[in-house]
Amino acid sequence: MVFGQGEHVYRVVEGWGKHFYTPFVDVVGMGVNSKNQVYVFSRGGVDPVLIFDSRGNFLRCWGREHFSWPHGLYIGPDDSVYCTDGDHTVKKFTPDGKLLMTLGKKNQPSDTRCVGRDWRTVKRSAGPFNCPTDAALDSDGNLYVSDGYGNARVHKFSRDGELLLSWGEPGTGPGQFNLVHGICVDDKRTVYVADRENNRIQLFDPDGGFRTQWDANRPADLCIHDKCLYVAELGQRTGPRIPRLSVFTLEGELLSRWGGGEGCEPGYFFAPHDLCVDSRGDIYVGEVAITSVGVGGPVPANCHTLQKFVRVS
C-alpha cells in the first residue's frame, strides 16, 4: 500500500527498527545525521538515545545519565545532537553522546506560574526554560528553542549559548502561543513554529517578527528537507482533526497528506509526535504510546510507535 499524492508518494516499511532489548514506548524525538543514521529519542527504555542505520539495524545507544523527561531531538550540520528535556534544559552532544553544552538549569523552571507541565496553566511568558520542547539551528549557527509546555516563548541563542532574544506570550493572536511544540528554520532564516494547541504553524523572521500562519491539526513537529516542510499533526481521535502527516512547499502549498483509517494499521497514525527525513527523501515518524493526551487515551499494546516511509515518486 502506498500513501500520499503527486510527487510525494510513499510505501510504509513495516517493523522498521530492530531494537534488540526493548520495544519502543514513546518515541518523542528523531533526527538523521550525515551518514543517514537515524537517532531515536525515546522514553521507557534504559538509554533514551537509540541509533539505527537506514535499514533499521540497531547500532548503539547512550544517554541514560543525562535525561529526566526526553522530548525533542535535532541534529545539526556537523552531526552534533541537541536534546530538549523536561528538566528545563537543552543539551548539546557529540554524535556518540559526549555532553558539550547545557543551556538552562536542571530542575529550575522559569517563573511562568505554570502548574506541572500543563500549558493551560501558563499565566505569563518568561525566560529560558520551562519544559522546552524542540530546537533548531539557522544557517549562521544560531540556536532557536521552542519553550512550550510550561512557557509560551521562542528563545534565540548564539552558537556559544548566549541568549540573544526571546518572543511570544500566552494567547491566540499573532506571535502568541498555546503550547509551542516544534520548530525549524529554512535557509532564508524563516522560523517555522508549531503552535500546537492553537492548531496552526506560525512563521517569523529571525528577530521574531510575525510573517504569516497556516492552519494545521495540532502540529507537533516540523522538518525541512529539499525545500519542503514536513509536518507531524497530532490531531484528535474523534472529529475532523485526524492524526496525519502533511507535506507543504515553503510557501504553504499542500503537496501531499495522509492519515485517517485505523490509526494502528501500518501507514496510518495514532499519535504522531515527531518526524525526520533522510537524504533519500524517506520519512521516519515517531508516535507517543503512553502520553497520547487528547488523542483517545493510551495506544493499544500492538500499535506501532515508529514507522519508516520510503519515497516511491
- Tell me what pLDDT residue 199 has: 96
Report pLDDT for 260: 86
What value does the mean pLDDT of the chain take? 93
pLDDT tens string 269-309: 989 999 999 999 999 999 997 765 445 556 677 788 899 99
State the pLDDT at residue 237: 63
pLDDT at 152 over 50: yes
Cell of 55: 535499514
With a cut of 80, say whether residue 22 has pLDDT above it: no
Residue 5 and residue 255 in contact, taking contact as beta carbons nearer than 8 Å: yes
pLDDT band at residue 37 using 50, 70 and 90 as cut-offs: very high
Segment 34-52 shows an average pLDDT of 93
- CB pairs under 8 A, 24+ apart, for 276-281? 276/30, 276/31, 276/32, 276/38, 276/223, 277/32, 277/223, 277/225, 277/226, 277/230, 278/32, 278/36, 278/38, 278/54, 279/32, 279/36, 280/36, 280/54, 280/310, 280/311, 281/225, 281/226, 281/311
At 163-218, the pLDDT tens digits run 999 999 999 999 999 999 999 999 999 999 999 999 999 999 999 999 999 999 99
% residues pLDDT > 90 (the chain):
83
Look at residue 258 and tell me whether its pLDDT is greater than 50.
yes
Tens of pLDDT, residues 100-141: 999 999 999 999 999 988 999 999 999 999 999 999 999 999
**Residue 294: per-residue pLDDT:** 46
Q: Which domains does the chain have, with CATH numbers?
A: 2-311 (2.120.10.30)
pLDDT, position 301? 72
